[in-house]
């Protein structure tokens, strides 16, 4: 019995190794797509070459304030700022070649200064944005708010136009008949203090320009496996692609069985004195071995080329990989049990895999899903595979974090396998 | 006949409302080739599948050397070799790798497997091509390898389900030679086909099957005896010679049937030597000129036509 079991397993592995398409789909394609997505998702932690948000800055004011705003925007690491005209900026955003355009209108500096100290009409900064990039729009307006506040306050408190404005404002307040005495006095004191501070700075030779600044700084730290470990975008991308293409391998397992039935091979196997357990079990074992090896080889490539490390438990990583491989084998058996013909089954199975892969977070990170969908995806084996692989790689969690994904994947493996055995068409059609 | 190696009694198998096999019985002894002859869809493959244990019959029984086939793992299955109608081979693997796998299905490995493979490849004449991938084989070579794969465990009974479909005459003859060798070694062969020529050439007995039922089961001679005539006189008439009084011709002594079709008169006679001059003289006397005269022997096609009212090829 063992001779036939071993021979059947060996046959499946041999067939896989001589099948160029299978090799391509299991190794070359996931590696290529994983590499691309990994790069797009931030690469191996070095953010220097990460993609910046393309911004067009239109300065119609040409004041010290507007120039300062553009200068500050240009200094932001996340932004790629280029000067433009209103018309060009609109066309560029519409075409998608720029994500956001910031238009600083004429007299912005003057009007912003006026509005800074008094109840004047506030000038508008135009923000044109690509509606498909609303997240980037929110980010740019946030940065812009800080830069405008700092540029205007700097000019108001230390720049020449600010000084002129303080003097003018003081004169206006002094001459004002409409202000209540209890308001007028403090405002005059404030403006005189600012004027006096300006003159003292001139005499003291402290020419450094100041103004309001953000009352805090941030210390940013990516929380990863350990202190020196950096987030590696390739870890997520490879996990996603491995999950997807290993499931495609599962489809091939099922389709292979259907093809064997179609080509009369199943009759030859069934004519031999072999139990159903040997016939299906050998297929499940060979599929599990192949799936496990595909996971390992893909991650080995990611380790060698992109530095993706198993920063968590190696045992947990192997456990999750093995459980996922078993689940894949069960899935393949189910495909064979439910399918009628290879041709009809392949299309449906691919559709099903793409759905579960998408909902499992293999393409785009789970946090982008709505909350309700994130909860719903807990019924997807792919979600558990992704969580398990990510936990053991860049998140660097311990074996305990792998136990739940392993258990769920094994549960799916048993369910799929059981259903496959129950539904399998044992009898060869006459 | 010696004790039956294979005994099949009243096999029945239905798929929903379709009755695929309806009460098929047969027996075959050592060194005997039994043909299952019938058109496509007659129930031949279903019958073979039940004998091989691939299908469970709704009723009836199959006994191999006096024992019923009990389960998937019944060792009695080792006594059966199945040659499926399809080319049940892995094209991507070499012939050797294919045979290694199929030998292992019967727990053969190592030297025993190698001996079995050598013998099987030798029989079918593929010993020198064993290391080639099957996908590079011709259709005839694949058919021969398909046969070899069923011989590795040295089965007593060989079930051959249309084993020559799609092969050239040369390869077909090679396969026939292989089967005759196996017969001479005392093997029991059940051979399904819808080619009457194959059944006539190979089979000791022919079971004609149609719509899942056995319509005849006899030796070739026995089947021919079922026919009203065993010889046909084919007379090709000159153009315009179609106003023949067939009733009058049929009234002649020794003439059993007469049919005019596309300018050829076919006259069924019991004794060709005595009836031929009489028929020709009758034609001449009535001014019917003819260009050619030939005799045709009744064949299994005629038997099938006689028994079912349909042509084997058209069924």
Nearest CA in chain B to A2: B107
Which of the residues A264, A268, A278, A426 would you substitute to probe the B interface, choosing the one with the greatest number of B C-beta atoms within 10 Å? Answer: A268
Virtual torsion, Cα B290, B292, B298, B301, nearest 10 deg: -100
How close does chain B come to A333, measured CA to CA in Å? 20
Residue with the bigger pLDDT between B147 and A362: it is B147
**Which ranges in A272-313 belong to alpha helices (H)?**
276-306
Mark yes or no for CB contact B101/A265 under 8 Å: no
Residues in B touching A13 (Cβ below 8 Å): none
Nearest CA in chain A to B47: A430
* DSSP 8-state code for residue A424: -
Q: Which of residues 252-281 of A touch B (CB under 8 A)?
A: 262-265, 267-276
Please name the residue that has the structure tokens 């192949």: A290
Asked whether the beta carbons of B300 and B219 are under 8 A apart, the reply is no
Asked whether the beta carbons of B67 and B4 are under 8 A apart, the reply is no
Can you list the residues of chain A whose pLDDT is less than 50? Answer: 48, 430
Asked whether the beta carbons of A273 and B155 are under 8 A apart, the reply is no
Asked whether the beta carbons of A113 and A155 are under 8 A apart, the reply is yes
Backbone angles phi, psi at B27, to 5 degrees: -145, 155
Provide the 3-class DSSP secondary structure of residue B86.
Answer: coil
pLDDT average, residue stretch B2-8: 87
Q: Whole-model pTM?
A: 0.74
**Terminus-to-terminus CA distance in chain B, angstroms?**
33
- Nearest residue to B90 via CA among A18, A345, A279: A18
What is the rounded CA–CA span in Å between residue A291 and residue A242?
Answer: 9
Nearest CA in chain B to A260: B88
Please tell me the predicted confidence (pLDDT) of residue B201.
92
Q: Which of residues 17-76 of A touch B (CB under 8 A)?
A: 18-19
Mark yes or no for CB contact A8/B54 under 8 Å: no
What count of Cα atoms within 13 Å lies in the side-chain half-sphere of residue B97?
A: 19
What is the rounded CA–CA span in Å between residue A199 and residue B203?
Answer: 124
Please tell me the predicted confidence (pLDDT) of residue A51.
65
Residues in B touching A274 (Cβ below 8 Å): 72-73, 105
Mark yes or no for CB contact A267/B88 under 8 Å: yes
Least confident window among B139-153, B199-213, B223-237: B223-237
Residue with the bigger pLDDT between B33 and A114: it is B33
pLDDT average, residue stretch B123-139: 95
Please tell me the predicted confidence (pLDDT) of residue A293.
97
How close does chain A come to B144, measured CA to CA in Å? 15
- Nearest residue to B281 via CA among B296, B263, B293, B268: B293
User: Strands of B18-28's sheet, edge to edge?
Assistant: B18-28, B6-15, B59-64, B67-68
What is the rounded CA–CA span in Å between residue A140 and residue A123?
Answer: 18
Residues in A touching B92 (Cβ below 8 Å): 15, 18-19
Asked whether the beta carbons of B61 and B8 are under 8 A apart, the reply is yes
Residues in B touching A3 (Cβ below 8 Å): 104, 107-109
Q: How many CB atoms lie within 10 A of CB A370?
A: 8
User: Looking at chain B, how many residues does it have?
Assistant: 315
Q: Which of B56, B82, B107 sits opposite A268 (nearest CB)?
A: B82
* DSSP 8-state code for residue B4: P
ipTM of the complex: 0.83
User: Strands of B213-219's sheet, edge to edge?
Assistant: B80-83, B157-161, B188-193, B33-37, B205-210, B213-219
B287 — alpha (psi -120 to 50), left (phi > 0) or beta? Answer: left
**Which ranges in A217-262 belong to alpha helices (H)?**
233-262
> Which residues in B3-30 are b (16+ Cβ under 10 Å) and which e?
ebbbbbeebbbeeeeebbbbebebbbbb
Residue with the bigger pLDDT between B2 and A98: it is A98
Nearest CA in chain B to A256: B90
Q: Which of B73, B84, B109 sits opposite A268 (nearest CB)?
A: B84
Which of the residues A6, A267, A275, A342 would you substitute to probe the B interface, choosing the one with the greatest number of B C-beta atoms within 10 Å? Answer: A267
Please tell me the predicted confidence (pLDDT) of residue A430.
43
pLDDT average, residue stretch B33-61: 94
Q: Which residues contact A358 (CB under 8 A, 6 or more apart)?
A: none
Q: Which residues contact B168 (CB under 8 A, 6 or more apart)?
A: B139, B140
In total, the C-beta contacts within 8 angstroms joining chain A to chain B are 102
Mark yes or no for CB contact A15/B90 under 8 Å: yes
Residues in A touching B87 (Cβ below 8 Å): 263-264
Asked whether the beta carbons of A426 and A276 are under 8 A apart, the reply is yes
Please tell me the predicted confidence (pLDDT) of residue A146.
87
Nearest CA in chain A to B106: A272
Residue B270 has pLDDT above 80, yes or no: no
Beta bridge pairs of residue B191: B35, B160
What is the rounded CA–CA span in Å between residue A377 and residue A384?
Answer: 9
How close does chain B come to A343, measured CA to CA in Å? 18
Question: What is the DSSP track for B88-119?
Answer: -S-TTSBHHHHHHHHHHTTT--HHHHHHHHHH
* DSSP 8-state code for residue A25: I
Q: Which residues contact B212 (CB under 8 A, 6 or more apart)?
A: B13, B19, B20, B21, B22, B24, B42, B43, B46
Q: Do strands B18-28 and B6-15 pair parallel, antiparallel, or not at all (unpaired)?
A: antiparallel
Mark yes or no for CB contact B74/A273 under 8 Å: yes
Asked whether the beta carbons of A279 and A8 are under 8 A apart, the reply is yes
Asked whether the beta carbons of B183 and B72 are under 8 A apart, the reply is no
Asked whether the beta carbons of A295 and A27 are under 8 A apart, the reply is no
């Amino acid at each position: 019995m063992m001779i036939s079991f071993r021979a059947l397993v060996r046959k499946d592995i041999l067939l896989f190794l001589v099948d160029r398409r299978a090799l391509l789909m299991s190794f070359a394609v996931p590696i290529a797509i994983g590499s691309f997505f990994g790069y797009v998702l931030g690469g191996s932690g070095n953010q220097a070459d990460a993609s910046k948000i393309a911004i067009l800055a239109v300065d119609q004011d040409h004041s010290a304030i507007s120039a300062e705003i553009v200068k500050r925007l240009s200094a932001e690491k996340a932004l790629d700022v280029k000067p433009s005209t209103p018309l060009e900026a609109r066309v560029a955003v519409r075409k998608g070649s720029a994500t956001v355009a910031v238009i600083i209108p004429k007299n912005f500096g003057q009007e912003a200064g006026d509005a800074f100290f008094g109840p004047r009409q506030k000038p508008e900064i135009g923000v044109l944005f690509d509606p498909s990039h609303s997240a980037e729009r929110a980010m740019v307006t946030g940065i812009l708010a800080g830069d405008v506040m700092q540029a205007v306050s700097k000019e108001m408190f230390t720049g020449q136009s600010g000084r002129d404005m303080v003097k003018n404002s003081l004169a206006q307040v002094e001459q004002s008949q409409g202000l209540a005495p209890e308001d007028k006095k403090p405002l005059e004191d404030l403006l005189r203090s600012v004027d006096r501070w300006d003159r003292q700075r001139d005499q003291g030779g402290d020419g450094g320009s100041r103004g309001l600044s953000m009352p805090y700084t941030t210390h940013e730290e990516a929380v990863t496996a350990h202190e020196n470990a950096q987030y590696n975008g390739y870890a997520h991308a490879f996990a996603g692609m491995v999950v997807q293409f290993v499931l495609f391998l599962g489809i091939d397992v099922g389709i292979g069985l259907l093809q064997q039935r179609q080509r009369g091979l199943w009759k030859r196997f069934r004519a031999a004195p072999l139990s159903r357990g040997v016939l299906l079990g050998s297929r499940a074992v060979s599929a599990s071995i192949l799936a496990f090896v595909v996971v390992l080889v893909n991650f080995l490539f990611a380790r060698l080329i992109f530095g993706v490390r198993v920063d968590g438990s190696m045992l947990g990583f192997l456990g999750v990989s093995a459980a996922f491989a078993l689940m894949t084998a069960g899935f393949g058996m189910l495909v064979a049990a439910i399918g009628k013909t290879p041709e009809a089954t392949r299309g449906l199975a691919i559709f099903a895999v793409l759905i579960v892969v998408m909902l499992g977070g293999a393409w785009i990170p789970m946090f982008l899903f709505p909350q309700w969908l994130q909860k719903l995806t807990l019924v997807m084996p792919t979600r558990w595979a992704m969580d398990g692989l990510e936990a053991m790689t860049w998140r660097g969690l311990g074996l305990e974090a792998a136990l739940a994904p392993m258990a769920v994947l094994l549960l799916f493996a048993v369910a799929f396998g059981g259903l496959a055995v129950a539904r399998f068409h044992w009898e060869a059609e006459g | 006949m010696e004790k039956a190696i294979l005994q099949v009694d009243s096999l029945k198998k239905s798929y929903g409302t379709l009755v695929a096999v309806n009460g098929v019985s047969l027996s075959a002894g050592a060194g005997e080739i039994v043909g299952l002859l019938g058109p496509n869809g007659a129930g031949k493959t279903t019958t073979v599948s039940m004998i091989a244990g691939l299908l469970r019959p709704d009723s009836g029984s199959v006994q191999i050397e006096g024992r019923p086939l009990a389960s998937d793992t019944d060792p009695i299955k080792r006594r059966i070799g199945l040659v499926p109608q399809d080319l049940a081979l892995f094209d991507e693997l070499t012939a050797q790798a294919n045979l290694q796998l199929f030998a292992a299905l019967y727990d053969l490995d190592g030297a025993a497997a190698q001996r079995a493979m050598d013998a099987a490849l030798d029989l079918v004449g593929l010993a020198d091509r064993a290391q080639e991938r099957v996908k590079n084989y011709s259709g005839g070579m694949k058919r021969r390898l398909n046969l070899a794969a069923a011989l590795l465990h040295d089965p007593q009974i060989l079930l051959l389900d249309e084993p020559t479909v799609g092969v050239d005459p040369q390869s077909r003859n090679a396969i026939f030679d292989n089967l005759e060798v196996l017969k001479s070694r005392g093997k029991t062969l059940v051979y399904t086909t819808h080619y009457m020529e194959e059944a006539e050439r190979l089979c000791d007995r022919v079971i004609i099957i149609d719509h899942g039922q056995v319509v005849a089961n006899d030796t070739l001679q026995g089947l021919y005896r079922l026919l009203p005539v065993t010889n046909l006189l084919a007379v090709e008439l000159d153009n315009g010679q179609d106003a023949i009084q067939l009733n009058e011709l049929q009234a002649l002594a020794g003439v059993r049937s007469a049919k005019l079709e596309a300018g050829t008169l076919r006259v069924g006679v019991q004794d060709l030597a005595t009836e031929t001059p009489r028929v020709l003289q009758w034609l001449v006397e009535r001014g019917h000129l003819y260009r050619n005269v030939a005799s045709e022997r009744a064949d299994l096609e005629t038997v099938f036509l006689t028994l079912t009212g349909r042509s084997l090829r058209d069924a």
